[in-house]
A = this chain, B = another copy of it.
């Protein structure tokens, strides 16, 4: 039996000194497993969706631990391969207020970077799948990851699966000699739902739209002209007051119609990592259960509440998110 949602991407370990300590001040680190697509998968699994994640992990006790984590949230790990390469990881120093958080990566020669097209039987992996989700991180890690993803997208497209994409361009990736923007454009052209906004469109199309509502609508219009498979665009706007305080808002362009959500404020921020992925997971959950406008609201609430959870994963049930969506401010204790 297949899973309704399938994701593909790196399983990465995060290592972080406790609290707001810098590495130089600490002899301990907390660790978490994550990765942008796995974060989406995990959030959906926590909300009791059937989810399969496709990836490589290291063939050692670190990889075992990662698989154990995925199982713990209920993800189907039958398409996780074990390889001789070490698991990718990153170090995080958590900032506060005027001090930004810092990340140092160790991923470009890891298990996922070394994934090969022949390691994934896409037809089998996508059996029963309704939504396939990918992001712009995976093809930026290595050429073979790009090729493996492309094969997956082609298969998914053939099978008529909804394809959601968060095609963020990260300048610290794309070291293998290809142009990130061109490849992202190519891969987006297989997709049907675009999770991103003006920045992402400008990067892919080489345009210069402004970030306001008008610019957003123009950018979406051009995007759909150039990539007609995209029939829905959902965007989150993050207003980063500082490292400890954030505001989130969703907006969308669907069927030539613009709509947006209220602004949600989060102060203090417990953890910013994975909040975009919580938005994407919330959106997919919403699209499976609600209409587009409610789906956007749900996604924005999911994004907001993730800021209060330590680690990369949004450990909130759909009910928790619904409460935030319905204006619950968190002030009362649930007994």
Contacts and interface: CB of A to CB of B under 8 A. Distances in A.
A330 B97 contact: yes
A28 B25 contact: no
A25 B266 CA distance: 21
Given A335-B170, A335-B172, A308 B96 contact: yes
Nearest to A175: B84
Interface string A88-130: 0101010111111111111011100000000000000000000
Contact of A98 (B69, B266, B310): B266
Interface stretch (A158-166, A210-218, A240-248, A252-260): A240-248
A178 interface: no
A91 B63 CA distance: 11
A127 to B, nearest CB: 16
A184 interface: no
Contact of A61 (B65, B104, B270, B304): B104
Nearest to A98: B330
B93 A61 contact: yes
B332 A61 contact: no
Chain multiplicity (copies) = 6
Contacts of A93: 61
Contacts of A207: none
Contacts of A272: 333
A68 interface: yes
Contact of A24 (B30, B89, B315, B329): B315
Interface in A8-49: 15, 18-32
A318 interface: no
Contacts of A15: 15, 29, 31
Contact of A333 (B18, B98, B100): B100
B242 A330 contact: yes
A335 B102 CA distance: 6
B26 A308 contact: no
A206 interface: no
A104 B86 contact: yes
Closest 9 CB pairs of A and B: A240-B331, A72-B72, A86-B106, A60-B104, A243-B330, A109-B109, A99-B308, A96-B308, A23-B65
Interface of A: 15, 18-32, 58, 60-62, 64-65, 68-69, 71-74, 86-87, 89, 91, 93, 95-106, 108-110, 170, 172, 240-246, 264, 266-270, 272-273, 304-305, 307-311, 315-316, 320, 323-324, 328-335
28 contacts: A15-B15, A19-B19, A20-B310, A25-B310, A25-B315, A27-B32, A28-B30, A61-B93, A62-B91, A69-B72, A71-B72, A72-B72, A86-B105, A96-B330, A97-B270, A97-B308, A98-B266, A100-B334, A102-B335, A103-B333, A103-B335, A106-B106, A109-B109, A240-B332, A242-B330, A243-B329, A244-B268, A273-B333
